[in-house]
Amino acid sequence: MRRVSWVIVLLLIVVLIFPLACKAPAAFEVVSLDITPPEMMAGETATVNADVRNIGGTEGTYTAILAVDSLEAAKKDVTVPPGATRTVTFALVEGKAGTYRVAVGGLSSNIVVKPKLVAKEMELKYDDGEGRVLYQRCSSVTEVLNQVGFLINFSPPAVPFTINKVLIDGAIKPCPI
């Protein structure tokens, strides 16, 4: 009887405790990487989300490292139960224009940073040094305004720009009576 009791106790130890001791340790994989927005202006913030899955048998902590062009930019720890997935979120700010390779774990994606546009007042002006009064044979002032034009040579800057105001310096007199 004593022998049977020891066998039952030993069997319970093997059945109940041994599997707990033999569970696979935590193991992680990054299963998705999302960068929002994929294009931004220099100095703006993009959000980088990485989903981390624990494929091991026990809970564990994963250190997610955000790399930009293979250089560590940030890192965060996330605790993930076995079989579960958790999202790690990073804020990414790049100050210079260019295309950057962003990676977390084994996944990577590109983000395009465009140059920041700065409003700048600019005057487009044609001046040959001669003051002019423009006369035209016409029947009304409206006809003069509709028929007179200016030719301006202008070389735009290399980056995109918007013209908000154009000042044309000249005088138009109505037709002499």
Report the pLDDT value the prediction gives residue 155, as an integer from 0 to 100: 65
Residue carrying the six token digits 């990414």:
92
Q: Kindly report whether the global pTM for this prediction surpasses the value 0.85.
A: no
CATH 2.60.40.10 in the chain is located at: 25-114
DSSP string, 58-125: S-EEEEEEEEETTEEEEEEEEEE-TT-EEEEEEEEE--S-EEEEEEETTEEEEEEEEPPP--------
H-assigned helices in 52-119: none
Question: At the top level of CATH, which class does the domain 25-114 belong to?
Answer: mainly beta
Tens digits of residue pLDDT in 32-75: 999 999 999 999 999 999 999 999 999 999 999 999 999 999 99
Chain centroid to CA 3: 70
Tell the residue number behind the tokens 């989300």, with chain if given.
49
Reference 147, options 131, 163, 135; nearest CA is 135
What value, to the nearest 5°, has the Cα angle with vertex 130 and ends 177 and 144? 35
The pLDDT, as a whole number, for residue 8 is 73
Structure tokens at 36: 């929002």
φ and ψ at residue 58, rounded to 5 degrees: -130, 160
Mean pLDDT in the chain?
77
Which tens digits make up the pLDDT trace of 118-177? 666 655 554 555 554 444 445 554 444 444 444 555 566 667 766 666 555 554 444 554
Closest Cα partner for 113 from 29, 59, 38?
A: 38
